[in-house]
Amino acid sequence: MFQPPIFREERQDVMQELIVAHPFATVVASATGCLTADHVPLVLKSTSDKSHLQGHIAASNPLFRETQDPFEVLTIFQGPQTYVTPSWYASKQEHGKVVPTWNYVVVHVRGELRFTREPEWLLRHLNDLTSQHESHRAEPWAVSDAPSDFVQRQLRGLVGFEISIKDMQGTWKVSQNKTLKDWTGVKAGLERETAPDAAEIARLVEERARQ
């Protein structure tokens, strides 16, 4: 993706935090002979020397049925995003030379995808995925809550995959290119908005502008 240096994020830990916070990703591939995009929740597995993304799709998905792994994929994690009106800029009143824009946070991950149909791998992955999204609940659901024979039937319809991460790119476009008066206006404007991501973008506007 195009990355003006002022918006570029290169810290691995910051990008990994975004992946964990927004795990529902778009996996883009050309392995079937045309561009495809699958939307799946992923689990980040990271050690000191390597990182992987793990996920699963239906075994009937053409990405599995019509390909020969391994193959390259681009995985996109979309963070908070929102429209920014030029009405929030102080410079609108000063000279009027302003236009709308969009503030957003996104991470692109490139890597090599390999499939697996090992039941043990799939079960371990589903436990990891479920735990990630259930552990904060008062009564967390677990895979083991379902009957074992039912779970085994479900596993037969799935194929797991692992993406070996080769490259990560992060873009945090949150008004860093604006003057103090303009980004202050953006922050104040977003804090008055009711859009789901407005409050988080407002926080990031102040955080990044002060770095």
Task: Calculate mean pLDDT across residues 195-202.
Answer: 95
Each as own residue / partner, the long-range contacts of residues 45-48 (CB below 8 Å, 24 or more positions apart, any chain) are 46/16
**Residue 14: which H helix or E strand, with range?**
helix 12-21
Percent of the chain at pLDDT above 70? Answer: 100
pTM to 2 decimals?
A: 0.94
Q: According to the model, what pLDDT value does residue 92 have?
A: 87
pLDDT of residue 93: 85
Span 127-154, average pLDDT: 96
Predicted local distance difference test score (pLDDT) of residue 46: 87
Of 211 and 46, the structure prediction assigns the larger pLDDT to: 46
pLDDT tens digits along 76-104: 999 999 999 999 999 988 898 899 999 99
Q: 5-82+103-174: which CATH architecture?
A: Roll (2.30)
Give the separation between CA 172 and CA 92, rounded to whole angstroms. Answer: 24
209 pLDDT above the threshold of 90: no
